[in-house]
């Protein structure tokens, strides 16, 4: 009989109970006992819900206290040496120290989880001696069985993926590390088998990327070892986010099930099954409900796919499941009361996706007639949204068709623009600035809430924002920054703010998803044609500029980041959505310039995360992503300086594309990766303005002057001081006021030291 499953469930709770518990614990408002109790309640509530909805194979150990990759490292005692750890169970103080940093130790690097907006903590293997500190999957299995009678499906990150996502070892050490880790994995699995676990889900998303012959050999070693050492345990080798590479070799591995993504990896995976079949001795985990998108699944189409799969796999060997963990979507649509009916009816968040999986499973087992009403309702909901006026704006579609044929080049090349800009702005060597946002205090958030509730008038709220701008313009001048910002106090989120002011967007009340740690975001929904309606940032930026003689940057979020950090429509291509956004944002750039703002930052931190996982698709994506940025910025005067910002990604493989963006200045995070990005510039020439973030803003610690001068020194070994800027690695919205001021003062002091040191080179 066909079974149902999901690969993971959102951790945060429908009202972000998880986030609130974490932050209360970090702030010392609750003790560890209370904290553990709250998180246990959240875990059990999730499991209870999945059981009540009818999921057959319920995941356990998908829950995390921060990040599942960090969990895996902690389970194996892989703790960076700079933290105080002597073995055994990892204390929460050490666990959160790795994630967030301490006064004496920098946090571990954080980067994107494949091509999603989720961030994971990068394990550091250098000098580590792995040993099991706790069998976390076993503890999760026991908890579910003891409290709810659930025979859970433990989830753990596979060895190959864990190694590929780690740092602190050379390629030549891979096999040695595998030899250290394999016995630990075997022990974990053996204890699960002895406990009576039927199925374990081992996640190996790295299998959707290109693997070397050596890696294929390692896979055979890993899963051959598991089969030999723990023969009684059923292993579901789970992949997601794309089609697997090396299909024939992977499905031949000695595991009992293979999980494939038939949403984002549909074309490749279905082609492989049709050409090579599927092993008769294995279960197929059919990921047919999108775990990353928020749209209602076209149920008839999905049933057609299941019928196709049954030509190669019998129904009793199919598990209907999500394409990936539901971690990437909000919890439920049910709490949304303000969306247009035609939009709300076409949405499916985590709970609704679980219902779709159960319904599709029922249809396979009992026939389409058993779900005829649900199929008809689904058809009507999807059709109503397609016919809505928001999706059929000919004015936008026609204008975008025209600009889409342009290449978006500036009038002059960078060298000539740079000379004109230097003459206009007269900035010092190594100019200092920030990325855009300043701390959003309790008072700022409260004021916004009062305004949104209607308890404050728009005039009262605008006055409050002006007061905040006044304060921080004065502070920036006192600190000694060269290029100022207004602080973005009116903005909740760098994407949500713009979406609220553009046509074609919708916003949820409770549609939160985890980005990293306790940081939850509420992505906008791009459901219609994107349209510029009126200036969005001019008022605050112009006001800030009126309060200082130093230049103030205008601050925008770029088209690719808005797209990649939103839930987007699926009826047109992402390229077309990007061009619609570029057309709208171009009008905002022009409005800022007309208002006298001559430095404009168009942030694109999410360009890299949108990079397709398949190498064959990457060049095309980068071409239109770069073009969208240029279309946004190309109409300004030569003396208008265009800045952009990128953070928390691996950029070494797209330096050429960054150059093609042709921004006058780009700032890139490098502090949390401890300067490793600089190696890219040792191998690649970069001749435009650049600022490599000199301190990590996601940690509460205040870095010293010497630490920052060290960062600057390393960068200026390979970068031109005449083109180099000094800045933090990201916006300062989440930081406290005192630590922000102290860090920026140290940054300015480090800059003064560096200016004296490098003056001769200039």
Domains of the chain: 3-386 (3.20.20.210), 394-761 (3.20.20.210)
Tell whether residue 634 is among the known ligand binding residues.
no
pLDDT of residue 314: 97
- What does the block give as tokens for 598? 């001559």
CA 734-736-742 angle, to 5 degrees, is: 120
Tell whether residue 17 is among the known ligand binding residues.
yes
Q: What is the dihedral of CA 78, 81, 82, 87, to 10 degrees?
A: 70
The owner of tokens 């300086």 is 641
**Residue 533: what are its φ and ψ, rounded to 5°?**
-115, -40
Tell whether residue 717 is among the known ligand binding residues.
no
Cα–Cα distance between 432 and 427 in angstroms, integer? 9
pLDDT of residue 47: 98
pLDDT of residue 762: 45
pLDDT of residue 676: 60
Residue 681, pLDDT > 80, answer: no
Tell whether residue 410 is among the known ligand binding residues.
no
Q: Is 418 a catalytic residue?
A: no
**Percent with pLDDT over 70 in the chain:** 97
Tell whether residue 609 is among the known ligand binding residues.
yes
> pLDDT tens across 546-591, in order?
999 999 999 999 999 999 999 999 999 999 999 999 999 999 999 9
Of residues 647 and 394, more confidently modeled: 394
Instruction: Collect all residues with Cβ–Cβ distance below 8 Å to 191 and sequence separation of at least 6.
Output: 135, 138
Q: Which of 675, 662, 659 is nearest to 633 (CA)?
A: 662
Tell whether residue 437 is among the known ligand binding residues.
yes
312-321: average pLDDT: 97
- Give SS3 for 3: strand
**Percent with pLDDT over 90 in the chain:** 87
Cα–Cα distance between 747 and 45 in angstroms, integer? 46
Tell whether residue 112 is among the known ligand binding residues.
yes
Average pLDDT value over all residues in the chain: 94
pLDDT of residue 714: 86
> pLDDT tens across 598-617, in order?
999 999 988 888 889 999 99
**Residue 503: what are its φ and ψ, rounded to 5°?**
-75, 155
pLDDT of residue 3: 98
Residue 25, pLDDT > 80, answer: yes
Tell whether residue 314 is among the known ligand binding residues.
no
- Give SS3 for 261: strand
Q: How confident is the model at residue 760 (pLDDT cuts 50, 70, 90)?
A: very low
Residue 46, pLDDT > 70, answer: yes
State the CB neighbour count (10 A cutoff) for residue 146. Answer: 9
- What does the block give as tokens for 107? 């946090």
Tell whether residue 645 is among the known ligand binding residues.
yes
Tell whether residue 488 is among the known ligand binding residues.
yes
- Give SS3 for 506: strand
Residue 649, pLDDT > 70, answer: no
pLDDT of residue 752: 96
Handedness of CA 301, 302, 305, 310 (dihedral sign): negative
pLDDT of residue 701: 84
> pLDDT tens across 687-711, in order?
899 988 888 887 788 999 999 998 8
475-486: average pLDDT: 97
**Which segment of 39-53, 134-148, 246-260, 641-655 scores lowest on mean pLDDT?**
641-655
443-459: average pLDDT: 94
Q: How confident is the model at residue 759 (pLDDT cuts 50, 70, 90)?
A: confident
Tell whether residue 117 is among the known ligand binding residues.
yes
pLDDT of residue 670: 66
Q: Is residue 511 within a helix (H) or strand (E), and if so which, with residue range?
A: none
CA 49-50-56 angle, to 5 degrees, is: 150
CA 496-561-676 angle, to 5 degrees, is: 125
Catalytic residue among 68, 264, 643, 698: 698
CA 293-299-300 angle, to 5 degrees, is: 140
pLDDT of residue 671: 58
Question: Between helices 266-276 and 299-309, what is the axis angle to 10°?
Answer: 30
Using a 10 angstrom Cβ sphere, with 0-12 exposed, 13-18 middle and 19 or more buried, the burial of residue 183 is: middle
Q: How confident is the model at residue 20 (pLDDT cuts 50, 70, 90)?
A: very high
pLDDT of residue 678: 67
pLDDT of residue 337: 95
Q: By the 8 A CB rule, do 12 and 516 touch?
A: no
177-182: average pLDDT: 98
CA 753-754-756 angle, to 5 degrees, is: 70
Of residues 699 and 191, more confidently modeled: 191
Tell whether residue 522 is among the known ligand binding residues.
no
- What does the block give as tokens for 128? 């580590």
């Amino acid at each position: 009989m066909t079974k149902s499953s999901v690969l993971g469930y959102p951790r945060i709770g429908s009202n972000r109970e998880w986030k609130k518990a974490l932050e209360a614990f970090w702030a010392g408002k609750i003790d560890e006992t209370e904290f553990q109790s709250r998180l246990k309640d959240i875990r059990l509530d999730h499991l209870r819900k999945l059981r009540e909805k009818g999921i057959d194979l319920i995941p356990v150990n998908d829950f995390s206290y921060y990040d599942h990759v960090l969990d895996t490292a902690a389970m194996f005692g892989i703790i960076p040496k700079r933290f105080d750890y002597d073995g055994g169970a990892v204390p929460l103080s050490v666990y959160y120290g790795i994630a967030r940093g301490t006064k004496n130790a920098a946090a571990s690097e954080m980067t994107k989880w494949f091509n999603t907006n989720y961030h994971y903590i990068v394990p550091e293997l250098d000098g580590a001696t792995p040993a099991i500190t706790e069998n976390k999957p076993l503890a999760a299995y026991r908890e579910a069985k003891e409290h709810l009678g659930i025979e859970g499906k433990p989830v753990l990150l596979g060895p190959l993926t864990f190694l590929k996502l780690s740092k602190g070892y050379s390629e030549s050490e891979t096999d040695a590390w595998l030899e250290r880790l394999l016995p630990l994995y075997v022990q974990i699995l053996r204890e699960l088998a002895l406990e009576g676990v039927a199925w374990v889900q081992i996640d190996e998303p790295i299998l959707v990327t290109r693997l070397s012959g050596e890696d294929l050999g390692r896979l055979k070693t890993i899963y051959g070892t598991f089969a030999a050492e723990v023969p009684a345990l059923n292993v579901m080798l789970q992949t997601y986010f794309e089609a697997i590479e090396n299909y024939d070799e992977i499905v031949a591995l000695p595991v009992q099930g293979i999980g494939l993504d038939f949403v984002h990896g549909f074309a490749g995976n279905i082609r492989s099954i049709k050409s090579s079949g599927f092993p008769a001795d294995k279960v197929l985990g059919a990921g047919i409900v999108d775990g990353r998108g928020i749209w209602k699944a076209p149920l008839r189409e999905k049933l057609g796919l299941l019928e196709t799969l049954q030509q190669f796999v019998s129904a009793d060997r199919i598990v209907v499941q999500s394409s990936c963990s539901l971690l990437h979507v909000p919890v439920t649509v049910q709490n949304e009361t303000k969306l247009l009916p035609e939009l709300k009816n076409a949405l499916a968040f985590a709970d609704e996706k679980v219902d779709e999986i159960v319904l599709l499973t029922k249809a396979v087992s009992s026939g389409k007639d058993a779900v005829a009403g649900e199929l008809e309702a689904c058809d009507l909901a999807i059709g109503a949204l397609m016919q809505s006026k928001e999706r059929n704006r000919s004015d936008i579609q026609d204008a975008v068709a025209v600009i889409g044929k342009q290449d978006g080049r500036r009038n002059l090349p960078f060298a000539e623009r740079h000379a004109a800009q230097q003459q206009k702005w007269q900035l010092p060597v190594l100019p200092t600035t920030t990325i855009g946002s300043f701390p959003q205090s309790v008072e700022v958030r409260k004021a916004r809430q009062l305004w949104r509730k209607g308890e404050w008038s728009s005039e009262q709220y605008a006055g409050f924002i002006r007061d905040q701008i006044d304060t921080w313009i004065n502070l920036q001048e006192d600190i000694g920054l060269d290029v100022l910002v207004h602080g973005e106090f009116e903005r909740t989120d760098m994407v949500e703010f713009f979406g609220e002011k553009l046509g074609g967007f919708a916003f949820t009340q409770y549609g939160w998803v985890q980005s990293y740690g306790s940081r939850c975001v509420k992505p906008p929904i791009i459901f219609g044609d994107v349209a510029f309606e009126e200036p969005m940032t001019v008022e605050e930026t112009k006001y800030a500029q009126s309060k200082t003689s130093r230049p103030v940057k205008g601050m925008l979020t770029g088209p690719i980041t808005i797209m990649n950090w939103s839930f987007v429509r699926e009826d047109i291509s992402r390229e077309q959505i990007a061009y619609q956004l570029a057309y709208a944002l171009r009008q905002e750039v022009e409005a800022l310039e007309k208002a006298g703002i001559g430095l404009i930052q168009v942030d694109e931190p999410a360009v890299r995360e949108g990079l397709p996982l398949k190498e064959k698709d990457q060049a095309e994506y980068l071409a239109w992503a770069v073009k969208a940025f240029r279309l946004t910025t190309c109409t300004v005067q030569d003396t208008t300086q265009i800045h952009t910002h990128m953070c928390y990604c691996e950029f070494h493989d797209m330096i050429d594309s960054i150059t093609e963006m042709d921004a006058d200045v780009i700032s890139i995070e490098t502090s949390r990766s401890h300067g490793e990005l600089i190696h890219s510039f040792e191998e690649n020439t970069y001749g435009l303005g650049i600022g490599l973030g000199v301190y990590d803003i996601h940690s509460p610690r205040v870095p010293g002057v010497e630490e920052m001068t060290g960062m600057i020194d390393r960068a200026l070994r390979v970068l031109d001081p005449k083109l180099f800027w000094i800045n933090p690695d990201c916006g300062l919205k989440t930081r406290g006021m005192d630590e922000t001021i102290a860090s920026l003062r140290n940054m300015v002091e480090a800059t003064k030291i560096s200016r004296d040191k490098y003056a001769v080179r200039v």
